[in-house]
Structure 1
Amino acid sequence: MAAAARRAGAAEVREALAAVADLGPYYEIGTDPAEEADPTWRPMPERDADRLLGLTEEYARRLGTGERRVAASILFQGLASRLFCPVVAAAASSGVVPDLSGLHWRWAPGAPIALWLKDPSGRHAGDAAAAAGQVRAAVVEGQLRPLRETMLTFVGLADGLLWGNAAASLAGSLRAGTMRPALAPALGALVDELFTRAPLAGTGAFNGSGFVRRSCCLYYRVPPGGEMCGDCALRR
């Protein structure tokens, strides 16, 4: 039996997340304890369907679409990116996988979604397989599945679409390796390992031009219509 992963302390998790935050806004999770004074932070995953519906409607307004399922799909993919990117990059950079059980989010109309981790903790991962198990537990099981369950109370979206969105977000986290080439080997090994595990297994594949998913996020339905993502199955 494999030994249990060694726990990472708050300082180690803060350092790991700070080390990747400058990769861009999708890689930012705040850890400043002073943020606890802000009452607008809410626990993530959000389980209040009305709040998620309000955010979905805001996305629909920004996108200029009257189709709730289109806006909900793009929102889910965006949230998946915000969750996968910092966690995967931190794991590849420092070997520390943050525990997201203390994650909070904040949003107001017209503002970007912000993330903050209360009482940071995590674990050290010895190899890609161990890291993948921890990332899957933190992101997929701890965050994306509950978000999916709440969103499905007000919009109908197929699982193939939602997990395809998550897969595209995970593949997008590989951009960190182009910005920091030293991260690329560990990042690639971790992402490859995650794609062998449910529910991401079978959602797409890498070829010479990058990741190609087996589903569509519905972006082509955003007005004026017809534009497809680079990884879309419909392009093939």
Structure 2
Amino acid sequence: MIVDYIDAHKTDYGVEPICRVLAQAGVQIAPSTYYAAKTRPPSARAIRDAELVEQIHQIHGENYAVYGARKVYAELKRQGIRVARCTVERLMCAEGLRGITRSKNPRTTIASVDTERPADLVNRGFITSAPDQLWVADITYVRTFAGWTYAAFVIDVFSRRIVGWQLSTSLRTDLALDALEMGIWTREHAGQNLSQLIHHSDRGVQYRAVRYTNALPMPARSPRSAAAAIAC
């Protein structure tokens, strides 16, 4: 590593001055030692490291630079390349290669404490006799290379059809609201009657926002239903 450092700066400062500064900093290396290292043939370990570095770069690049040492090591092992995991970690660190660390799963339900809580009218009885009697709204998420993406759905329990949906990179109220408005528009333009509709969701702030409540069909505003337990 010291030899590499001298190589990188010797054109600007010269070998002897660099060695003097390094000695003052407590790193003892004489110019003769540097020149001896440059003329000495590379060791078997250095040759092996160079080969591994090339293979590690290839695996890391082919997997969109998301693999860390553990997965790179597993892929090398799968390809029949014998190497210790600590060696992979050392070489990746020296090359500045690192994987993408998985973050904790996002929390999609944050309970609202400032608004009136609708009763649970469903009580896990997700059975209906006709379409548009019970809609269930929920938000889920999926990990992408760009980060978390959230998906809001409104599902008709009878047909199991997704009547409304929306995607977003944030848990804004508009995410759930857009999915609801799509469902209402789709069903009303299909000539469906929403007068007996019950809307069921968790007690997250998105579903209890005033804008969301006002967007519900008038008959569904009163028979709103919210799960008794928060589903995170």
Report the TM-score when normalising by structure 2. 0.28
Which structure is richer in relative contact order (CA contacts within 8 A, separation 6 or more)?
1
